[in-house]
Each structure stands twice: as structure tokens, then as C-alpha cells.
Structure 1
Amino acid sequence: MKNYTILIAILILFSCSEKTTEKDPLIGSWKLIKSANIYKKKKTVEHPPSPCFSETRFIFKKDGTFHYKWIEKNKETGECYEKPKDFWTGSWKVKKGGNYVITNIFKYSKENIVVSIDSTNTYTFADNNNRLKIYNDFEKSGTSVLDEVVIADYVIYEKVD
């Protein structure tokens, strides 16, 4: 009888748990469209990506990991190349309220630098979840960038898969 009681309790527990059938809009491959810096005097300067950097991708996977496919121009040859695959990786998860916690791992030579970006970034989806804007508020987070002249920035991505 105890076994049946335990089995019934487990079935009730799993049947009452929240089931996620919807795909999170962050999952997929995102192409860089533009970025911008916002300065202390509230002036915004947008920056279109260079031809090489426009091939950069932010790839978020279902398993909660991501990879940043960073493409840049070789200054000597002028050719586009991809930084090593493990240069920028990390994990992501949804926070209560719909925002995200992104933990970045940057690999420089033999060192790993782990950065968790959390409460100050805002992720906004538009165009039927095919556009993503990531807004970084440096003042709110206490981060200083470019001699504290830049108070925030944003990056806009377009879903490509």
C-alpha cells in the first residue's frame, strides 16, 4: 500500500508541475544589425557593423548555453576570420519577470574571465520575436565605460534561423 501511495504522490506532483511547451524566443541564432552608445548628455550614436562583424552571431541553445560567433577583419590580410569557438561562451536562463541572466565566459590565452550579466540588462523582443534589443545600463550597474562618458549602450540583433 505504501508503494501505491508514493507512486500516486509522484504522479500528482508531476502532473501539477508547470509544463513548458512554448519555445523561448531567445533560442536561435541572432545576427548583429547595429549597436549604439548613449552618452551622458543623452546623445545616442548608432554604429552599423563592419562587413566582417556583420557576420557575427549570438547563438542561444535550448540547453541553456550560448556561443558568440565573433567574426572580425584580419588587419594584415583584410580577410574576415572567426575567433576561436571557445573565445566567448556561457549560459543563460530566464529570470522571474521575463528578463534573462547571462553568464559569460571569455577565454583569453590561458585565462578564463567569467562575467555574470543580470539585473541591469534589458532584453526586448520585437517584430514577432524576430528582433532582439539588449540594453546595457552602465550607470545603473555601476560600471564605467570609456572614462564614464558612455552611460549605456544597446545592440540590436535579427533572428536568422
Structure 2
Amino acid sequence: MSLPAGSIIADAPCGTGRLAEPLLAVGYRVHGLDISDEMLDVARQRLRGFQERFTCEVADVKTSRPNEPLYDAALCARVLMHFPLDQQVEFLAGVATLSRTTVVINHSLDSVYHRLRRRVKRWLGHQASANYPVSNADIKELLQRSGLREVRRYRLVSLVSEAVYIVAERIAVSPQAT
């Protein structure tokens, strides 16, 4: 799925704008949503050179959902793995309501290999990167309960990273977040 330059992407949560920056650099418009005005202040400063192509607002996507999708796509990165599955569904279902079609998420995979790898990292003194990594079955449930269907999956440096990037599209059935 490709979006033409000038398309508007919702970045939720936007945080400091770290992921919005490369999207803006290739010609997209980005609207950042985050519950922290302090984080958005950093994003505003960081992205001020993009002028009106970057806008943002303080919002909780779990509770303030639009009546109809407002953006061409939505990005939900670096957040889901910090919450149990039911809260992930609640958050992602809110993000899904922002997009007309496409939602891109990233998550941390859970497998025997990744559990062993995390144990070794903890033993070496590294902080855990994901409190709630997900299995493939969890991903399927997360997407389905959020009103999404997986279109494509990407893994970057799969032996080193547990990160998975999923391109999903909204399905006609309304989300059943619980």
C-alpha cells in the first residue's frame, strides 16, 4: 500500500516526533496525537522546520474517537508492547478509527527464541524493551478485535531484533474492543 505525497498520517502516540520526522521528510503531512503536552512541545520544536505540514494535539485515542476517519493512514509505534493485550486492543481500536484505510503498527514478538534472547539480555544487565510481547496468535487477535486485517509484515534484522512491523487495513466490521 502506498500513499501519495501530501497524504495526512496520524501518528498516535506521537511523543517527541521521532517517527513523524522521516514521514515529513519524504513529503507526507503528519498530525501527532499524544496524551502528553510536554512530549508534543518537544515534537513542535523538533519539527518546526516543516511548518504547517506538522500539526498536533493532546488527545487520548482510547477515549476521544472521531465519528468518521480523519486521516489517510495511521501509525501506532513503540507503545503497544507496554500494556496487556486487552489494553492493546483498546488503544489500537482507537487508532484504527483515525484512518480511512491503512494502519501501521510495530510490536515485539514473543517466541522461544525471543524469550531466551530477553533472558540473556536481562542477565547482561539490559533493561527489558517490552513488557508484553506478543505471539503470532496474539497479533491475529489484536488486529481482529481492533477492526483490522493484516496486509503485510516486515521484520528488520530478525535475529537481532524482536520488532515486527505490520501494515493492516480497516475491515468493514466494527471493532469489538473489550
Tell me which interval the TM-score lies in, with the shorter structure as reference length: under 0.3
Q: TM-score, normalised by structure 1?
A: 0.24
Bigger radius of gyration among the two = 1
Greater helix content: 2
